[in-house]
């Protein structure tokens, strides 16, 4: 039997994977080593991928693992002969507000539902409203020590707990214990994370994985339900730009970003739109749990592409603002040559990319310190297979 | 104008002694009188009922609001001459997250003189600017009352109080001969207030002439004047440090964000101010006349709150949101409760809301302010030659 250290070096050396797997002490040790080494799936050699895929399919049942590794072969292997993906009933659903303490719609809605949960009650579902960052909410600030919505990294979650850790890291560990553990079968089925933005993004749904068919079907349902109002879907699946969100603790994380709204302000129209979107999302879950089969569908999404910072001087000070032509134009095409920034004395700086992009998070207040004026996206159509509730034996995905 | 009002006007003319503003309680017409001359300035606010006849009652339901400015007699006010505005101060970052002023002051730091006047640029609250917060301990822009400026400094004194006293030394002392001639303080608001000038006096001719120039020259945003009726000793904001002072408030802009359109409006307003100062100092004569779109603070309204937790239980109603300076009539919706009920305005007087849904005012228990609209008459003005 290999111990975990040896296993680690052998894995990184890519020698004799079949032999290693057969001699795993425990599968969790093996997985934890893989996680610690942060081997992205695509970097593992081909034969190792195929072998691992077969072994995991037989030996493991964690959907969280699938998400962790984004294993493509895994999904297709799990569909039944009629090509309907079966999922466990979504029994445990959480609604997070106050992940950023000054994003008022979520804070207000969650506090309302903590007082009286009638509106979010659905048959057969445990819906738990939860304030994720109470200290930041109390001070009406985005965060106290560090951004909670970036704190759910594997490193933070597995670090030994202690009072010397930043408040938000401690909080992330607590949240992971209550609603996770992230990547495990015990994790909550769905988490809705409520956010506001100063950008003119309307009601945006944020999708973390292009292979989450459950979420894709939910978002398709929501978009249809609120039509003719639009509900853009932002796909944050990106090797560099993806970040570790509070909702990522769940099997199916759903971000809800509604704007424009200044931080610290509660606008009635924004509040009510968020409320309506959530209502449709919970309706979808209820229908799913009742056994409704959702046929295959396609969902138009915007996949994040590139982060664009403000022009700055040598001291790091911003020397230009988002151009009036770009301001408030989230989701609209930005073509090469279009105005992008305007210096304080009125000069126009233009977009010099190769092709048309769709910018979003344009002039978000919280992103000045993250060196982001806006993020570019590209349009994509994702296909979601048919889904329905798993009724018999669990061969869960 | 009805016969009723011509009679009223003549009666009031006989009783004039000094500047007086009075309201006809019957119909809401405002009368303003200046000096002992019989010149008369009328500001009319007409309410049209649904049948479109001139209604003299203060009751509800309105589709149009007219504001007329009439000058009855041909007599103007006596011309006024004032000392040159030689020392001008421009302040930004009084609230550290109101970004237009922060960036504009940085831009204008390079400028030292404006014609014959010197320009001092100040980042008023550098610590708050650094943290991109409104303030660190207490709101700096409430620290300029005589009482706070003269309070002794101890270890427990909040940062902003110390800073206010420093600024008083730099730009004041308030009320003294050594103070800056003109202090202009730059602010942003999350409320849809366009470009608003805020000051304390209805008789500061320098400020009112600047307002008139800005109002005439700027077309990219609505321009209005807000009058806070407070004696100098109680004036709490930074602009009260100067012999003449006013704030420029531009919105809507989220705090912590710089929008190009809002920045450009503020820049235009500052450019017009400095232009006026230059013209004034070099001897231009500014004719008298009237300035309208002047709003006097009456009272403020708080959000409905839970009596136990003090948390707000409603948001500004969608029909009031973003409608600063429009008319609010008795019966108009003010708040939409989270439970769905509508809270209506139950005052008697038709007033104009402003600072509707300003982020920083939640903690001050203010959902919006209410004001009366009026017109002021200003005299011809030129610089005093020794």
Higher pLDDT, B256 or A62: B256
Residues of A known to be catalytic: 257
pLDDT value for A353: 94
Q: Is residue A397 part of a domain?
A: no
Query: Per-residue pLDDT for B275 more than 90?
Result: yes
pLDDT tier at B386 (50, 70, 90 boundaries)? confident
Q: Is residue A267 part of a domain?
A: yes
Residue of A nearest to B262 (CA): A324
**pLDDT tens per residue, range B71-109:** 444 457 899 999 999 999 999 999 999 999 999 999 999
A121 and A168 share one domain? yes
**pLDDT tens per residue, range B320-349:** 999 999 999 999 999 999 999 999 999 999
Q: Is residue A347 part of a domain?
A: yes
A182 and A213 share one domain? yes
Chain A contact probe: residue of B256, B323, B355 with most A CBs at under 10 A: B256
Q: How far is A174 from chain B (nearest CA, A)?
A: 26
A214 and A264 share one domain? yes
A67 and A122 share one domain? no
Higher pLDDT, A33 or B318: B318
Mean pLDDT over the full length of chain A: 85
A332 and A293 share one domain? no
Domain limits for position A41 = 4-71
A92 and A167 share one domain? yes
Angle of helix B205-217 relative to helix B260-281, nearest 10 degrees, comes to 130
CA dist., res. B299 & res. A216, Å (int): 51
pLDDT tier at A19 (50, 70, 90 boundaries)? very low
Contacts of B359 in chain A (CB under 8 A): 262-265
A297 and A334 share one domain? no
The DSSP symbol for A24 reads -
Kindly give, in sequence order, each residue whose CB lies less than 8 Å from that of residue B207, ignoring residues fewer than 6 positions away.
B197, B199, B201, B244, B245, B246
pLDDT value for A45: 54
Sheet with B87-92: list strands edge to edge: B113-114, B117-123, B87-92, B182-188, B244-251, B194-199, B223-227, B289-301, B368-378, B352-354
Higher pLDDT, A338 or A18: A338
Angle of helix A4-13 relative to helix A27-37, nearest 10 degrees, comes to 50
Q: Is residue A76 part of a domain?
A: no
Q: Is residue A395 part of a domain?
A: no
User: Tell me, what CATH number does A343's domain have?
Assistant: 2.20.25.160
User: Tell me, what CATH number does A94's domain have?
Assistant: 3.40.630.10
A277 and A132 share one domain? yes
pLDDT value for B273: 98
Once rounded to an integer, what is the mean pLDDT over residues A3-14?
46
Q: Which of B255, B258, B263 sits opposite A262 (nearest CB)?
A: B255
* Best mean pLDDT range from A8-17, A58-67, A85-94, A175-184: A175-184
Q: Is residue A101 part of a domain?
A: yes
A155 and A257 share one domain? yes
Number of domains in chain A: 3
8 Å CB contact between A388 and A291: yes
Mean pLDDT over the full length of chain B: 85
pLDDT tier at B119 (50, 70, 90 boundaries)? very high
Q: Report the Cα–Cα distance between both ends of chain B, in Å, rounded.
A: 46
Distance between alpha carbon A71 and the CA centroid of its chain, in Å?
17
Question: Which residue, of A26, A48, A71, is where some domain finishes?
Answer: A71
A215 and A327 share one domain? no
Residues in B lying within 8 Å of A, measured between beta carbons: 103-104, 106-107, 132-133, 190, 252-261, 263-264, 311-312, 315-318, 321, 336, 338, 357, 359-360, 362
pLDDT value for A18: 44
The CA R_g of chain A, rounded to the nearest whole Å, is 22
Chain B contact probe: residue of A108, A365, A367, A369 with most B CBs at under 10 A: A365
Contacts of A113 in chain B (CB under 8 A): none
**pLDDT tens per residue, range B223-250:** 999 999 899 999 999 999 999 999 999 9
A268 and A365 share one domain? no
**pLDDT tens per residue, range A115-170:** 999 999 999 899 999 999 999 999 999 999 999 999 999 999 999 999 999 999 99
pLDDT tier at B375 (50, 70, 90 boundaries)? very high
Residue A123: what are its φ and ψ, rounded to 5°? Answer: -55, 130
8 Å CB contact between B335 and B312: no
A354 and A274 share one domain? no
8 Å CB contact between A20 and A2: yes
CA dist., res. A148 & res. A350, Å (int): 34
pLDDT value for A392: 59
**pLDDT tens per residue, range A57-111:** 544 444 434 444 444 433 333 444 457 888 888 899 999 999 999 999 999 999 9
pLDDT value for B27: 47
Neighbouring-strand partners of residue A130? A96
Question: Which residue, of A41, A71, A101, is where some domain finishes?
Answer: A71
**pLDDT tens per residue, range A203-258:** 999 999 999 999 999 999 999 999 999 999 999 999 888 889 999 999 999 999 99
Kindly state whether A368 is in contact with chain B, defined as any CB-CB distance less than 8 angstroms: yes
Tokens representing B66?
């007219």
CA dist., res. A217 & res. A234, Å (int): 15
Q: Which of A140, A198, A342 sits opposite B257 (nearest CB)?
A: A198
pLDDT value for A393: 45
Q: Is residue A311 part of a domain?
A: yes
Query: Per-residue pLDDT for A12 more than 50?
Result: no
Kindly state whether A318 is in contact with chain B, defined as any CB-CB distance less than 8 angstroms: yes
**Least confident span in A346-350, B21-25, B235-239, B356-360:** B21-25
Q: Is residue A78 part of a domain?
A: no
Nearest alpha carbon to residue B330 among B316, B318, B343, B347: B347
CA dist., res. A207 & res. A288, Å (int): 19
pLDDT value for A242: 83
Q: Coil, helix or strand for A337?
A: coil
pLDDT value for A319: 96
pLDDT value for A41: 46
Query: Per-residue pLDDT for B216 more than 50?
Result: yes
């Amino acid at each position: 039997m290999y111990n975990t250290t040896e296993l680690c070096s052998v894995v990184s050396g890519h020698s004799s994977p079949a032999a290693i797997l057969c001699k795993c002490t425990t599968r969790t040790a093996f997985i934890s080593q893989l996680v610690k080494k942060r081997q992205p799936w695509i970097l593992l050699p081909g034969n190792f991928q195929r072998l691992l895929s077969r072994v995991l399919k037989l030996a493991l049942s964690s959907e969280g693992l699938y998400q962790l590794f984004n294993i493509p072969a895994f999904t297709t292997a799990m569909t039944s002969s009629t090509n309907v993906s079966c999922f466990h009933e979504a029994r445990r659903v959480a609604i997070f507000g106050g992940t950023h303490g000054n994003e008022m719609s979520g804070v207000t809605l969650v506090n309302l539902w903590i007082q009286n949960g009638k509106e979010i009650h659905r048959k057969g579902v445990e819906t738990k409203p939860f304030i994720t960052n109470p200290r930041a909410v109390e001070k009406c600030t985005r965060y106290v020590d560090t951004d909670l919505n970036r704190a759910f990294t594997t490193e933070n979650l597995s670090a030994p707990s202690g009072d010397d850790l930043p408040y938000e890291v401690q909080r992330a560990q607590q949240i992971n214990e209550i609603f996770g553990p992230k990547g495990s079968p015990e994790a909550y089925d769905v988490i809705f994370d409520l956010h506001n933005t100063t950008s003119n993004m309307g009601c945006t749904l944020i999708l973390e994985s292009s292979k989450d068919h459950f979420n894709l079907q939910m978002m398709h349902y929501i978009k249809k339900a609120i039509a003719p109002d639009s509900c853009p879907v932002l796909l944050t699946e990106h090797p560099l730009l993806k970040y570790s969100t509070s909702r990522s603790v769940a099997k199916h994380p759903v971000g809800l970003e509604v704007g424009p709204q200044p931080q610290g302000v509660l606008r009635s129209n924004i509040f009510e739109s968020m409320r309506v979107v959530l209502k449709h999302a919970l309706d979808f879950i209820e229908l799913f749990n009742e056994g409704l089969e959702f046929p295959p569908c396609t969902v138009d999404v915007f996949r994040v592409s590139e982060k664009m910072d403000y022009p700055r001087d040598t001291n790091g000070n911003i020397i230009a603002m988002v151009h009036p032509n770009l301001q408030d134009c989230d989701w609209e095409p930005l073509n090469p040559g279009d105005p992008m920034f305007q210096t304080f004395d009125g000069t126009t700086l233009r977009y010099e990319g190769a092709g048309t992009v769709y910018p979003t998070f344009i002039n978000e207040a919280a992103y000045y310190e993250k060196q982001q004026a806006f993020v570019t996206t590209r349009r994509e159509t994702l296909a979601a297979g048919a889904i329905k509730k798993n009724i018999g034996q669990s061969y869960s995905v | 104008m009805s016969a009723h009002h011509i009679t009223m006007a003549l009666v009031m003319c006989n009783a004039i002694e000094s500047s007086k503003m009075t309201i006809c309680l019957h119909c809401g017409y405002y009368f303003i009188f200046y000096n002992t001359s019989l010149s008369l300035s009328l500001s009319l606010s007409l309410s049209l009922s649904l049948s479109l006849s001139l209604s003299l009652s203060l009751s509800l339901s309105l589709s149009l609001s007219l504001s007329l400015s009439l000058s009855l007699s041909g007599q103007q006010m006596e011309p006024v001459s004032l000392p040159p505005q030689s020392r001008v101060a421009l302040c930004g970052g009084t609230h550290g997250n109101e970004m237009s002023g922060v960036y504009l002051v940085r831009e204008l730091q390079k400028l030292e003189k404006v014609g014959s006047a010197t320009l001092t640029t100040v980042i008023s609250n550098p610590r708050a600017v650094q943290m991109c917060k409104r303030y660190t301990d207490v709101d700096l822009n409430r620290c300029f009352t005589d009482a706070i400026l003269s309070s002794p400094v101890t270890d427990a004194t909040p940062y902003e109080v110390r800073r206010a006293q420093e600024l008083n030394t730099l730009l004041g002392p308030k009320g003294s001969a050594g103070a800056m001639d003109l202090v202009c303080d730059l602010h942003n608001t999350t409320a849809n207030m366009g470009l608003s000038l805020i000051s304390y006096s209805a008789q500061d001719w320098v400020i009112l002439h600047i307002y008139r120039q800005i109002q005439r020259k700027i077309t990219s945003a609505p321009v209005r004047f807000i009058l806070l009726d407070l004696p100098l000793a109680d004036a709490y904001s930074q602009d009260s440090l100067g012999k003449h002072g006013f704030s420029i408030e531009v919105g809507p802009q989220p705090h912590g964000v710089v929008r190009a359109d809002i920045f450009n409006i503020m820049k235009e307003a500052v450019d017009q101010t400095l232009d006026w100062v230059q013209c004034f100092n070099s001897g231009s004569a500014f004719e008298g006349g009237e300035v309208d779109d002047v709003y006097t603070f009456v009272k403020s309204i708080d959000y409905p709150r839970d009596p136990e937790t003090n948390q707000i239980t409603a948001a500004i109603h969608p029909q009031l949101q973003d409608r600063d300076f429009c008319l609010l009539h008795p019966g108009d919706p003010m708040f939409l409760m989270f439970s769905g009920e509508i809270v209506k305005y139950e005052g008697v007087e038709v007033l104009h809301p402003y600072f509707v849904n300003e982020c920083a005012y939640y903690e001050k228990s203010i959902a919006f302010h209410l004001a009366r609209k009026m017109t002021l008459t200003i005299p011809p003005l030129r610089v005093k030659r020794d």
